[in-house]
Amino acid sequence: MQVIFAVSDVRQSAAFYEQAFGWPRNQRIDYSNYVELVVGEGSSLGLYERSGYAEEVGAEPVLVPPDGVAPAYLYVRVDDAVEVATRLEAAGARPLSPLVDRSWGERAAWFADPDGNVVAVAQTELVAA
């Protein structure tokens, strides 16, 4: 699976996701206006500069206001949600919903990246307190 976000600054966004998740760049797909990060086997996150994104899809991506967020989110399951949530904040993510146990059996938190794209981190294997 591949998810592609429209972003204002491809290099800044790539650095954000590399710092937060440790996802490496796909060396074959690393251009000035588009970068892919390898999320897992067969999955990637594409970061596409806004004007290139608009040209490719035939429509201008909506600008997210500074206090708003995009209407969809990337939900990432991780081994240690506390560690990744800390790295997200250190990378500059805006916290949206705290890391707490959720009714569906996962501990999850939501954040906004520098462009207002929403990213959730979740941990399935909960550690007994």
pTM to 2 decimal places: 0.91
Domains along the sequence of the chain with CATH = 2-57 (3.30.720.120), 73-123 (3.30.720.110)
**Residue 109 near residue 98, CB atoms below 8 Å:** yes
pLDDT tops 90 at residue 127:
no
Please list, in sequence order, all residues whose beta carbon lies within 8 angstroms of the beta carbon of residue 123, skipping any fewer than 6 positions away.
77, 78, 79, 80, 81, 82, 106, 107, 108
Q: Which 3 state secondary structure label does DSSP give 83?
A: helix
pLDDT tops 70 at residue 25:
yes
**Distances in Å between the alpha carbon of 49 and those of 19, 27, 68, 95?**
19, 18, 19, 24
The predicted pLDDT at position 3 comes to: 96
Per-residue pLDDT of 56-100, as tens digits, reads 999 999 999 999 999 999 999 999 999 999 999 999 999 999 999
Beta bridge partners of 37: 25, 45
pLDDT tops 60 at residue 49:
yes
The predicted pLDDT at position 76 comes to: 96
